[in-house]
Every structure is written in structure tokens, then in C-alpha cells.
Amino acid sequence: MPSELEIKLRVDPAAASRMAAFAARYASGSETTRLHSTYFDDGKGSLARHGLELRVRRQEAHQEAQFVQTVKSGGGASRGEWETRLDDERPSIAAARDTPAKSALRGKAKLKPLFVVDVERAIWTLQRDGAVIELALDCGEIVAEGERAPINEAELELKSGPLAAFQAIARDALDVSGASPSFVSKGARGRRLRARRDGRVETGLDLNFESEATSAEAFAAIVAACLKQESINHELLDADPAHVEAVHEMRVAVRRLRAALSLFKPAMPSAEAGRLAAELKWMSDALGEARDRDVFIDKPMRLLQRRHPDVAGVNALREDFARRRDDAHARLIAAVRSPRFRLLLLDLAMAAAAPGALFERQAADAPFGALAAQEFARRLKKVRRRKAADVIGGSDERHRHRLRIAMKKLRYMIEFARPLARAKDFERMSQALRRAQKSLGVIHDGVAAEQALAQAVNSNPEADFIFAAGILRDELAPPPGCRRLALDAHAALRRTRPFWKDFRPSDPPGAQAA
């Protein structure tokens, strides 16, 4: 399959200027061209459902126009790419017959234009350590049904040479420019704009891989999908550091990335996989602290002010938690904008583009379905065992919290196998895990609130403040019967048939208990 290895960076004017200066170190000059690209799909969105993009690009240079039709597959840093020269701007299904678009566009499919991307592109050819790398700076806009959105990004593409040299120059470009990696293609941006989703948080995963996918192929697709969700919400948080939902969905994306590394851990014993997992935990902790503060201000404090508006100390309590929230957000924004996080995103993208560096050789080529089934079964056995019921009904909140986290991680993991499962079977298990996890969450929230209030009271001994905190603690106490509901949800989980029992039985080489 023809493919490209490319890293995108979000750039503002200052970062673009620094990037151009960086390019001048490795190239004698640049070339400028105008690119006018129209993206197409049929009326059913068949290409999008298969994770494909089809565009026709008019490139203007030296007063000449050239037309190229391109089909792209996949996401992340490594994507399949098929190009065909055309005589004009009309798309050709016939020209796509040797690409994945052929199977997506069945019957008498007719392509229609969706949106246009119009940019001015400056191009440098960089050479370093035996690698030839194209650096492109794009400045322009996307237009979809009257909606417009600016686009300013840099692209680094490996044309030839060693991967290590490409990764080294990408790291240097990040360091010099201060730009963040982006894993949202122009096609994905255009579809979001057309659907009036530009500026909204991204909640889902665009997973596209075949049922026969190897573990390495599935890992690449899963990480790319998680990075796309992270990128969209990352941009929203950059634009508005107080964006509560962007914090939440970015946290979900990072949790999914952590779950992916845990799922594939039996096949990835490398130290690099462990380092990536540790770095993701660092970011997850920063996001989690900010999210917890957001939730406490949004729900419990509003509840207190609504039910007890005249109680002395309420305003002081709210101000205390607002200050704690602001401090948590400041720490989060510093982490999100740090070189450490930018490099983590780059390293994750490169790991997905070349997973062989993480996987054992045999495990990389083993069927993903086999690895997933084995790991799901092992983890489900732990959360369904009878001892778990004792934990739910017991007094040890630490063990109950660990059980809830194990359920949540398994729920994230099984999402990755959705392309392999029957929809009804998948939803049945997903909902059973969700209900069991949320029922435990009700108990945990009450305990966490009590701990947060105790921490606040320790820093403010005023009687009114302590009184208001006591009222809120009572309001947030777990409701009667919540443990019974949690036990019922756990019993239902025990009765739910695992959908992965339908996967082909096989032990993936290198698999072992994580």
C-alpha cells in the first residue's frame, strides 16, 4: 500500500515565522504555490464510514494548473495515499478502482462535493542525516456550505531516508516553533465544519480497521483515533482555558490512550511502552485534578447555594473551591502547553506509525481479535469474581475505587474491539460495565466530596465556613440503597455474555498476564 509519513503542527503567525526560520537551516530556498482542493463523497457518506477521503486538488504554480485526485486512508502520522492525474477538477471513480475507495463506492455511486480547502503553501525540502523531508506551511481557509474556518498548519513529510532522522527533525521543529502536533486532517476539519460541529467537543472514536487486522495494525488505528479526539479538544482548550467540556473530553482521550497501552502491554514489553504509559499518567493526573474541581463547582456548590442560600459561610466555601479550581486549571494549561506534552504527542504518533519498535515481532503480526479476547477475558474475570461483591458491600473505599477503575478501563478497552463485534452484543456488555461502574461512582463521589471538604476545612477554621462545609457534606452523602444498586449492577454484569467469545480462538504470541 502506498503510504505517507507525515506530522502536522498547529501554527499561529509567530510559530509559522519560527518554522520558516527553522527550515532555512536545512534548505536553500522555498517554493510557493496555491492549492484549491475539493473533497467528495457519495450521498450516503460511504467513504467517511470506511475512514477514507477523496479529494481533487488544483495546484497552481508557474501560471500552470495541474489536477490530482487523491484517496487517503487511515489517520495519525502514517496514512495510505493513492494519487492519479486528471484532466480537470471532476472526480473519477474509475481512477480510484485500484484504491480502497472501490469497495466503499458500490453500485452506481455518484460523488458530490462536500467542501473546499483553499490554501497558500510554502514548501521547503530539508535534508538531514540521510533523510529528505518536505516541510509545508499552509495558510488559508475551509469553506463548507457557507461556513468558513481558517486553517494554519505546518506539515513535515518523510520523502525518503531513515525514520530516526525524520523523528529527530520533527522534535527539533516542535522545540523551535513551540507548535503543538495535530492529528486532525483537513478532510476531518471540513466534515466537522459541514456538520456544524466546528468549535464543539469531540466525544467519539473514529475506528477503522479490518476484522483480520493484526495487533500492530489495530494499535496504529486505535492510537490515531485517540490522538484525533485529543487534538480537537486540545485546540478548544488552547482557545479557552476555562472550557469545562474540553477538559473532560481531553481527559477521556488520554484515558483511552492509557487503556490502549494497557491492552497491548502483553505484546509490547519494551521500556519505551512503559515510558509512554508513565507520561500519559502524568497528563491524566493534571486533567483529572482540573476536571474534579470543575465538577465540584458546577454541581455540589450550585446545589448548596440553591438549597441553603442564607447559610453563612456558603459564599466563602464557594470562593475557596473556585480558587482551587483556578489553580488546578493553571497547572493543567501549563502542562498542556509544555514541551514535555508536545513531545509525548509526537512520540505516540511515531509509535503508531512504526509500532514494530514497541511490539515483539511475532506479537505484532498476531490477530488483534485473539489478543483482545484473551486480555478482555482476563480482566473481566477479575471484576466479575465473587470477591468483588464483598468489596462493593464492604467498608474499604480504596478497594472499591480500584474495582471501579478496573471496570472503567475494561469499558474503554472493549471500545477498541467494536469493529470486530456485533453491535447488539457489544452494547449489551458496554452498558453492563457502564452501569456497574457508575453505581460504584455514586458511592465514590460521596467519599471524595467528604475528603475534599475536610481538606478545605483544614485550611479555614472559621465557624461559618465549617458549618457550610458540614451541610454540603450531608447533602453529598451517598443515598440510601446505593450499595444494593451497585450489587445488583454487578450481578447483572456477571450474567452478561462476553461478545469476544465469538472471536477466533488463538493465543497471540508473546501474550502474558499484564
139 in helix, strand or coil? strand
Count of the separate structural domains present in the chain: 2
CA-nearest of 283, 269, 368 to 334 is 283
Q: Is residue 241 part of a domain?
A: no
- pLDDT at position 60 is 79
C-alpha distances (whole Å) from 233 to each of 107, 139, 227, 248 are 38, 21, 10, 9
Strands 147-160 and 3-10 come out as antiparallel
Do residues 45 and 31 lie in contact, with contact meaning Cβ atoms separated by under 8 Å? Answer: no
Q: Is residue 210 part of a domain?
A: no
On whether both 172 and 295 belong to a single domain, the answer is no
On whether both 61 and 162 belong to a single domain, the answer is yes
Do residues 258 and 276 lie in contact, with contact meaning Cβ atoms separated by under 8 Å? Answer: no
Q: Is residue 228 part of a domain?
A: no
On whether both 60 and 135 belong to a single domain, the answer is yes
On whether both 282 and 166 belong to a single domain, the answer is no
User: pTM value?
Assistant: 0.92
Q: Is residue 215 part of a domain?
A: no
Q: Is residue 338 part of a domain?
A: yes
- pLDDT at position 504 is 62
- pLDDT at position 510 is 41
Instruction: Give every CB contact of residue 487 below 8 A, 6+ residues apart in sequence.
Output: 389, 392, 393
On whether both 268 and 189 belong to a single domain, the answer is no
On whether both 10 and 112 belong to a single domain, the answer is yes
| Domain with 182 in it | 3-198
On whether both 433 and 315 belong to a single domain, the answer is yes
On whether both 175 and 270 belong to a single domain, the answer is no
How many residues are given for the chain? Answer: 514
User: Could you tell me the sign of the dihedral formed by the alpha carbons of 423, 426, 429, 435, in that order?
Assistant: negative
Cα(423)–Cα(430) distance, integer angstroms: 10
Do residues 68 and 56 lie in contact, with contact meaning Cβ atoms separated by under 8 Å? Answer: yes
Residue at a domain's end among 145, 179, 198? 198
Q: Is residue 221 part of a domain?
A: no
On whether both 19 and 120 belong to a single domain, the answer is yes
- pLDDT at position 294 is 93
48 in helix, strand or coil? helix
Instruction: Give every CB contact of residue 427 below 8 A, 6+ residues apart in sequence.
Output: none
Q: Is residue 238 part of a domain?
A: no
On whether both 164 and 267 belong to a single domain, the answer is no
On whether both 486 and 371 belong to a single domain, the answer is yes
On whether both 191 and 268 belong to a single domain, the answer is no
List alpha helices for 240-313, DSSP H.
244-263, 271-298, 300-307
In sequence order, the β-bridge partners of residue 79 are 4
- pLDDT at position 310 is 85
pLDDT < 70: residue spans in the chain: 1-2, 61-62, 504-514
Residue at a domain's end among 141, 169, 198? 198
Cell triple for residue 376?
A: 478482555
Give 126-148 pLDDT, tens digit per residue: 999 999 999 999 999 999 999 99
- pLDDT at position 512 is 40
Q: What is the CATH number of the domain that holds 74?
A: 2.40.320.10
- As a whole number of Å, the end-to-end CA separation of the chain is 33
Q: What is the CATH number of the domain that holds 288?
A: 1.40.20.10
- pLDDT at position 498 is 97
Residue at a domain's end among 167, 198, 229? 198
Q: Is residue 206 part of a domain?
A: no
